[in-house]
Amino acid sequence: MLLVDDHPGFLDEVSGLLIDEYNIVGTARDGRSGLDAARKSHAEIILLDIEMPLLNGIEVARAIRQAGLKSKVVFLTMHADPDYVTAAFKAGAQGYIFKSHLHRDLKLALETVLANRVFVSRYAS
């Protein structure tokens, strides 16, 4: 699993939640570094923020698909606007988790995506 988010504290929090059950192959703190890491690591899942420096997450997801990488892309973002959700899936995402629902949704989302199904956080808290 590759984690891409521009907030180091958040990367640490997500890593802490996953470290016992998933192999984290790397982290990146901007879109360009995330795309480079995705190309090199061939991670099974890429957890990706939307708003990041250099390339945003939507651009990274598109580039991952254009490069033919088979990684499953799951967005982990603060954006609950349906337009962002639509854009994420058009760019090739299989999952979309609201950061505010991290503890509730993260593991379920990963299990769902690994089972080749789509996951989206529910809008209600």
Domain count, the chain: 1
Asked, for residue 37, whether it belongs to a domain, the answer is: yes
Q: What is the structure's pLDDT at 86?
A: 94
23-76 pLDDT, tens digit per residue, is: 999 999 999 999 999 999 989 999 999 999 999 999 999 999 999 999 999 999
* Domain extent at residue 16: 2-75+89-116
Please report, for the domain that includes residue 57, its CATH number.
Answer: 3.40.50.2300
Asked, for residue 71, whether it belongs to a domain, the answer is: yes
- Residue 58's φ and ψ, nearest 5 degrees, are -65, -45
Asked, for residue 123, whether it belongs to a domain, the answer is: no
Per-residue confidence at 125, pLDDT binned at 50, 70, 90?
A: very low
d(CA 90, CA 93): 7
| Average pLDDT, rounded, for the chain | 93
Asked, for residue 82, whether it belongs to a domain, the answer is: no
Asked, for residue 84, whether it belongs to a domain, the answer is: no
20-37 pLDDT, tens digit per residue, is: 999 999 999 999 999 999
Which residues in 59-84 are b (16+ Cβ under 10 Å) and which e? bbbbbbeeeebebbbbbbbebeeeeb
Asked, for residue 125, whether it belongs to a domain, the answer is: no
Residue 116 DSSP label: T
Residue 6 DSSP label: S
